A and B are shown apart, each in its own frame.
Chain A
């Protein structure tokens, strides 16, 4: 089964805890992204990685951290410094520009709720 796999689908976090959301892909895409979705605000970019061992901050990186040790994996850690972490988190990948024209494909998302 190919594509982008996010886990867990639902996650509850106590205040002050760090949590890590998993994102795995078998599309052989170089670029990977994390977006956050809040009601009525569309999607906002948290972090992105264009290649293994490299990543860049997006528009709302504060309180989040990532790693890109393998091409297939781009986990997102929501730290206790993130003041309002309750949201829907979407992982995405992008294929080569020549063949896919910057099309970004998304996983099924993870719901994070702070309790």
Chain B
């Protein structure tokens, strides 16, 4: 069975601080995908990034960066110089890619990030 754990329920920072959201996953599959989604107060889930299990290269997109480490089964998300508009709930998710289960996206419970001015 697959599982995603986001241990941080809520994080509060002051604008311009850097913040890291943790994500730890469990899967028996050797091929899988990891995702981060952002859910602003409006409710829609916004896709941020997808990584496959064969690509451990870290990725940077503007103020966002992701650190994927298979050795620790972690896929952490860092926001540099946070802004008020970054306030949202962030979800980490896992999708196995083999067999008949490649349909299913398993979510963590989310981390509520509040960036204060």
Query: Which A residues fall within an 8 A CB radius of B?
Result: 31, 33, 40-43, 45, 48, 50, 56, 58, 88, 90, 92, 94, 97, 101-109, 111
Residues of A near B9 (CB, < 8 A) are 40
What distance in Å separates the Cβ of B46 from its nearest Cβ neighbour in chain A? 8
* A interface majority secondary structure: strand
The answer to whether A90 touches B102, judged by C-beta atoms less than 8 angstroms apart, is no
Which B6-39 residues have a C-beta within 8 angstroms of A? Answer: 9, 33, 35, 37
Q: Does B42 contact A (CB under 8 A)?
A: yes
Q: Does B91 contact A (CB under 8 A)?
A: yes
Q: How far, in whole Å, are A41 and B52 apart by their CA atoms in the complex?
A: 25
The answer to whether A104 touches B105, judged by C-beta atoms less than 8 angstroms apart, is yes
Q: How far, in whole Å, are A56 and B100 apart by their CA atoms in the complex?
A: 12
What distance in Å separates the Cβ of B98 from its nearest Cβ neighbour in chain A? 11
Question: Can you list 10 A-B pairs with a CB-CB distance of less than 8 A?
Answer: A33-B103, A42-B109, A42-B110, A43-B45, A43-B107, A48-B103, A56-B103, A103-B35, A105-B47, A107-B44
Residues of B near A109 (CB, < 8 A) are 43-44
Q: Does B95 contact A (CB under 8 A)?
A: yes
Q: How far, in whole Å, are A94 and B91 apart by their CA atoms in the complex?
A: 17
B108's nearest neighbour on chain A, judged by CB, is A42
Residues of B near A111 (CB, < 8 A) are 43
Q: Does B50 contact A (CB under 8 A)?
A: yes
